[in-house]
Amino acid sequence: MIQKVVFFFEMRSFGVCGWWARKLGISSSKVRIGFIYSSFIALGSPLMIYLVMAWVLEHKHYFKLQRKKRNTIWEL
């Protein structure tokens, strides 16, 4: 049973820590440790933030605005 749960999370990891690490330019292990420590200090509220960020990253194609390429004044 435990192995199935671990396998599920390994195969469908959200990538939030990896995304933050790329944006901040640091290793993802430091971001993971930060989430773990902040979860202990703030009694689990960063876990809710993590899940919201995971949902947003999973559905980010809905949040991107479709920008049209505007013509410059010289191309009119």
17 exposed, middle or buried (CB, 10 Å; 0-12, 13-18, 19+)?
buried
Alpha-carbon distance of 59 to 61, in angstroms, equals 5
- In this predicted structure, what is the pLDDT of residue 73? 73
Residues of the chain with pLDDT under 70: 10-12, 65-70, 75-76
- In this predicted structure, what is the pLDDT of residue 11? 67
Written as six digits, the tokens of 60 are 């980010």
- In this predicted structure, what is the pLDDT of residue 26? 92
